[in-house]
Amino acid sequence: MSRDNVAGGKKKLTRAQKAAKKARQEKTMTVFRDGKQVRVKRPESIDGMDVDEFIRRNADPVWLHQNEMWEYLDHDDKE
């Protein structure tokens, strides 16, 4: 009998299977929906930050205006 069929034995993954598993885990995350575990696509991020947060921190006013993102512009009314 091979070890695969014995109780408690577990088949090891091949390199290709491990790579596929790692890629799948990087692209998705597991959440509970209706009492069941479901794999859903991860939200996009840049350097571990949410895309909107990255834009708020790094974009200059001209770029924000050109891309019609006026809600992120700082309004300094110093009159």
| Residue 18: domain span | 14-42
What is the pTM (predicted TM-score) of this model? Answer: 0.45
| Residue 24 counted as domain residue | yes
**Is 51 in the same domain as 67?**
yes
d(CA 1, CA 45): 48
User: At which residue do the structure tokens 């947060």 appear?
Assistant: 53
| Residue 25 counted as domain residue | yes
| Residue 7 counted as domain residue | no
| Residue 1 counted as domain residue | no
Could you report the per-residue pLDDT of 11-70, keeping only the tens digit for each?
999 999 999 999 999 899 999 999 999 999 988 888 878 888 888 888 888 888 888 888
- DSSP bridge partners of 65: none
**Is 48 in the same domain as 64?**
yes
The domain total for the chain is: 2
Stated length of the chain: 79
CA 27, 47, 62 angle in degrees (round to 5)? 120
